[in-house]
Amino acid sequence: MTTEPLILLAAGGTGGHLFPAEALGVELIKRGYRVRLATDARALRYSGLFSKDMIDVVPSETVRSRSPFSLAYTGIKLAAGTIVALQLVRRLKPAAVVGFGGYPTLPPLMAARLLGIPRLIHDANAVLGRANRFLSRHVSAIATSLPGVLDRDPALAGKTVTVGTPMRPAILSAAAVNFVPPETTEPFRLLVVGGSQGARVMSDIVPDAIERLEPALWRRLVLTQQVREEDMIRVRSVYDRLKINAELAPFFYDLPARLASNHLVVSRSGAGTVAELAAIGRPSILVPLPGSIDQDQFANAGVLSKANGALRIAQTDFTPDRLAAEISALAAEPARLGAMAAAARAVGRLDAAERLADLVAKVAGI
């Protein structure tokens, strides 16, 4: 019978939620605690810290529309998940439950509340997510990645601690790689990513932007681009015609190392991406996902753009001409790239996992 305290981590089944949970899990295990993960079925494909025997799948559902039928279905699924979570939490008897956002965190956190178990949430965005916003009044502490997220809400600001985004070991290793801006005669390494599934807008805009570059820059360019399978043929045909040195794939499993090895990153601005760019310290052109209710990606990108570590371009302005102009200007100014890298790095926090683990221990009383 083990006596080490157990910390139950709850996260949605995407990398943006799972990676910070993994990073905290690594730190908690270092301190002698046990960890388990409560999440949805998507995380069963995840191969990080959490092996299948460390994962408990809890039913959940996202609010997909405001129709009465959809809301009722979501409510039923979340209620069923809470029943499952109550049984799980009673059996595991965790010292604390830590939520990382996404609707799959609702059942475990609400079960912990009903059973009087200490609980806290972490949010990586510059704007609190909807699930965390609901949970914020039912937890003892709120950890944020960025300062000022809840300054306008005095009831929540008093229990909010800025810790940063916990970084998995691969990001910490990448952060140790110094940024060396390329001279104007040297290869210029460009990385284009669009989230875990790739973004169609990158396939629509980036090839046309590359075609608008000067031929001298074509010869310097070493391009790595995440491309959806359905877009692969049309994107590759452009680069083949231009004789661009390009590597294309639907997904890169070694993304932290690729972030570290490139001179400029073009990407969406999810919370995890922005935090990793800051931790590693790499210049970027960020294109926030439009249409979000909370405009969280726009706010996330704003953190780096205000620090002069990134260029934020709204998708309506993200045209081949605009992108070509920005890439050309940056490729011609090594000193500017170096300054952007340093500015991004100044925003990053590499000790976030330790800071969050300290907060967990405080809330749990262990």
For residues 328 and 271, the model is more confident at 328
* Banded pLDDT at 228 (limits 50, 70, 90): very high
pLDDT at residue 292 above 90? no
What one-character-per-residue DSSP string does 92-123 give?
Answer: H--SEEEE-SSGGGHHHHHHHHHTT--EEEEE
* Banded pLDDT at 295 (limits 50, 70, 90): confident
* Banded pLDDT at 293 (limits 50, 70, 90): low
CA pair distance 343, 320, nearest whole angstrom: 26
DSSP 8-state secondary structure symbol assigned to residue 212: T
Distance, C-alpha 117 to centroid of its chain: 28
Which domains, and CATH codes, for the chain? 6-167+350-364 (3.40.50.2000), 172-347 (3.40.50.2000)
Taking residues 138-148, report their average pLDDT: 92
pLDDT at residue 196 above 60? no
CB atoms within 10 A of CB 54: 13
Report the predicted TM-score, pTM, of the whole model to 2 decimal places: 0.86
pLDDT at residue 162 above 90? yes
Tens-digit pLDDT profile for residues 229-240: 999 999 999 999
The identity of residue 247, as a single letter, is E
Taking residues 100-124, report their average pLDDT: 94
pLDDT at residue 1 above 60? no
> Residue 127 has what pLDDT?
87
